[in-house]
Structure 1
Amino acid sequence: MTDPVPTGKTVNLAFTGASGAQYGLRLLQCLVASECRVHVMISRAAQVVIATETDLKLPGSPPAMEQCLSDFANAKPGQVRVFGREDWFAPPASGSGEKAPLVVCPCSTGTLSALATGASNNLIERAGDVALKERRPLILVTREAPLSEVHLENMLRLTRMGAVVMPASPGFYHDPKTIDDLVDFIVARILDHLDLPQRLMPRWGESRMGKKGQSGD
């Protein structure tokens, strides 16, 4: 008997061609561990970046990619779904589909531009357009430096539309020891914005509140 598909929160997760594939892959692991159903969309450029920055080699077809990512994240059968770049019948492609937040992690400046101007040339862009028009949570984990005036204007435009622009700029106040600690800093912030529990790092002030005599009692 196979394990049932988790009935928890659904999260749409898109990978685009910016550097920082580790952020999205770690987020996938955490979403699966939180019993979420994850609808994954991956651009062609993202496949190249994932192969360049990690040891994960994704196959070309969505079903094979789905199995690969499910194994990577230790997902239950059916918990991770991968949709093709032009699968217009995928749930994220329509406002009448399941209401779910969208996280683009990492988010390239090309995708940023497409979302800011309402382009819908592929499923990721259409999913972002749907999130904006339906007023659903949209988190854009941008990774670029330096930023041009065009990038900044697009970020401002999307912020005014209701998106959360969350640059992959980890802090250091949690005393990171490894690169994984820096990745977890950003993933923890994403999970917070998705209202999902996380134990990747303590929230600001928690360590002080736990000390005797400094809790305000």
Structure 2
Amino acid sequence: MAVGISGASGFLYGLRLLEMLRELGIETHVTVTRAALLTMVHETSFKLSDVEARADFLYRPDDVAASISSGSFKTMGMIIAPCSMKTLAEIAQGVTSGLASRAAEVTLKERRKLVLLARETPLTQSHLTNMLTVTQMGAIVAPPVPAFYAKPESIDDLVDQTLGRVLDLFDLDAAQVRRWVKTP
């Protein structure tokens, strides 16, 4: 699985996603944007070495020769968690300034699943237009919106529920997901 971590708030989504994929035995090919490194410093006590410890392969953000930048390198798809509006705009417009958006573009051209945890609010018209564009291109925009029916007790519960639902899109069952069940 290709994983991008971009500079939107929510660095924890990307880090926890890597842990969940490892628990499921899924090989990960990861890139972290420069802006994500800044977000990591402001939001967490983690370091890039913590990402590296959770990734099977970690590529520099400018390494457009990385395996995941080529359609001939097979992956089950890509998740960008979180996905900044800059990264989303690059994907929508086909203008790739780094590996995260390049790998996403490759994912789309190869007709593989691309899921973007778009993390911004409120949304401008350009944000919404770009979301529509990437959706029309085949991506899935999945903002990390809390599912309160799961009765979360912590931030970790909220993160796990969101990421579990994202993994559902790849038919990967993360045991952390609390499913909606109508009670009589």
TM-score, shorter chain, exceeding 0.5: yes
Match of 1:164 among 126, 132, 140: 140
Alignment of 1:106-125 (within 5 A): 106-125=82-101
Distance 2:126 2:52 in 1: 37
Distance 2:46 2:15 in 1: 10
The structure with the larger Rg is 1
Q: Shift in Å at residue 100 of structure 1?
A: 2.9
Contact 2:5–2:81 (8 Å) recurs in 1? yes
Give the equivalent residue in structure 1 for 2:25: 35
Distance 1:175 1:99 in 2: 34
Alignment of 1:128-167 (within 5 A): 128-167=104-143
Over residues 40-92 of structure 1, what are the superposed CA-to-partner deviations in whole Å (9 max), with x where a residue is unaligned? 1000110111121111022xxxxxx4xx3354x4xxxxx61101122233221
Distance 1:81 1:134 in 2: 21
Q: Specify every segment of 5 or more residues in structure 2 that has no aligned partner in the other structure, as ranges.
A: none
- The letter for the 2-side match of 1:38 is T
Distance 1:132 1:12 in 2: 12
Distance 1:57 1:202 in 2: 30
Match of 1:23 among 2, 10, 13: 13
Distance 2:74 2:109 in 1: 14
Contact 1:69–1:80 (8 Å) recurs in 2? no
Q: Shift in Å at residue 122 of structure 1?
A: 1.1
Structure 2 length as normaliser, TM-score? Answer: 0.94
> Which one is further off, 95-104 or 39-48?
95-104
Give the equivalent residue in structure 1 for 2:61: 85
Number of matched pairs: 184
4+ residue segments displaced more than 6 Å: none
Give the fraction of aligned pairs with identical amino acids, expressed as a percent. 41
Distance 1:111 1:198 in 2: 26
Alignment of 1:51-130 (within 5 A): 51-58=41-48, 65=49, 68-71=50-53, 73=54, 80-130=56-106
Over residues 80-123 of structure 1, what are the superposed CA-to-partner deviations in whole Å (9 max), with x where a residue is unaligned? 11011222332210111123311010000000100000012211
Give the equivalent residue in structure 1 for 2:166: 190
RMSD: 1.5
